[in-house]
Amino acid sequence: MKSFYEKCYAVLRKVPKGKVTTYKEIARALNSKAYRAVGTAMNKNPYAFPAARGRAGGDSLKSSDLVPCHRVINSNGELGGFASGLKNKIKLLKSEGVEISNNKIDLKKYFFRLR
């Protein structure tokens, strides 16, 4: 049986490049209201993109194993936190074509609803 964190990571892997989702949306997809626990799972992500960990590459993880925790933001469109710093989160999101204005993302344009 998968842990709550592993379930969070499995759901988040569905969010495509150039889109974002929210902590609340991940919790909803898991039939939970544990938004903060989702945030903790993202902070503890052992499958983060190498750039999110401050490395250029060289990890042994396959791309299908990676969990794009930089694509998770607050429900109001604010960026929220990021384990390796907000500058890295912004860099990763911008590299995927996500526009950020005043540390916010337009959810009408970039939100990915999980099913």
Contacts of 63 (CB under 8 A, 6+ apart): none
Give the model's pLDDT for residue 53.
64
Say yes or no to pLDDT of 71 above 80. Answer: yes
CA dihedral 6, 100, 50, 28 (to 10 degrees): 0
Active site residue 8: no
Of the candidates 13, 15, 37, 43, the residue with the CA atom closest to the CA atom of residue 24: 37
Cβ neighbours for 33, distance < 8 A, ≥ 6 positions apart: 27
Q: What are phi and psi of 78, to 5 degrees?
A: -70, 155
- Provide the 8-state DSSP code for 4: H
Distance CA 69, CA 14 (A): 11
Given this model, what pLDDT does residue 59 score? 54
**Overall pTM surpassing 0.85 (yes/no):** yes
Interval 36-68: pLDDT, tens:
999 999 999 999 887 776 554 545 667 778 999
pLDDT of residue 108: 97
- Catalytic-role residue among 29, 69, 92, 105: 69
Query: If you classify domain 4-110 with CATH, what class do you get?
Result: mainly alpha
